[in-house]
Amino acid sequence: MAQMSLQSSSTDVQSKPWAPSHFGEEQASSPESSLDSMCSSPEMSCPSGSPDTDFSFGYCGRRMTNATQRQSKSKMSTKRRMKASEREKLRMRSLAEALHQLRDYLPPDYTKRGQPLTKIQTLKYTIEYINKLSDILSHA
């Protein structure tokens, strides 16, 4: 089982563009030798006095914090998406309520055979009705 995790880790490292083998170093012929050479290479060693040092599989603490950041970032975006969705629901409810109240002020002449008016029809008929009322008031 330990052998399997070493192979998957080295394969993962080889596919990353930041792996030293992509900066002009020769690639090893097998995944095990690639992992061994990376763990012992000076480029991959962590500074000895670093407080966030994590020596598991030869990686520095930055590797672990990046994974943690990605995980918290996805949780954060899920929360943001849920909050935005809730705000949108409230906005749509408010709009529907306002249109319903507006329809109540329109005379029955503007409604079509018992069918509810669309949003755009409600707005157009309201504008038309207000213009007619304004004309009546200005000519009185």
**CA 139 – CA 120 distance, rounded (Å):** 29
Q: What does residue 112 show for φ and ψ, rounded to 5 degrees? A: -100, 110
Q: What is the per-residue pLDDT for 93?
A: 98
pTM over 0.75: no
Q: What does residue 115 show for φ and ψ, rounded to 5 degrees? A: -80, 140
pLDDT digits (tens, 9 = 90+) for 98-131: 999 999 999 988 877 678 899 999 999 999 999 9
Packed helices 119-139 and 61-105: angle between N→C axes, nearest 10 degrees: 40
Asked whether 90 and 82 are in contact (CB, 8 A), the reply is: no
Asked whether 9 and 35 are in contact (CB, 8 A), the reply is: yes
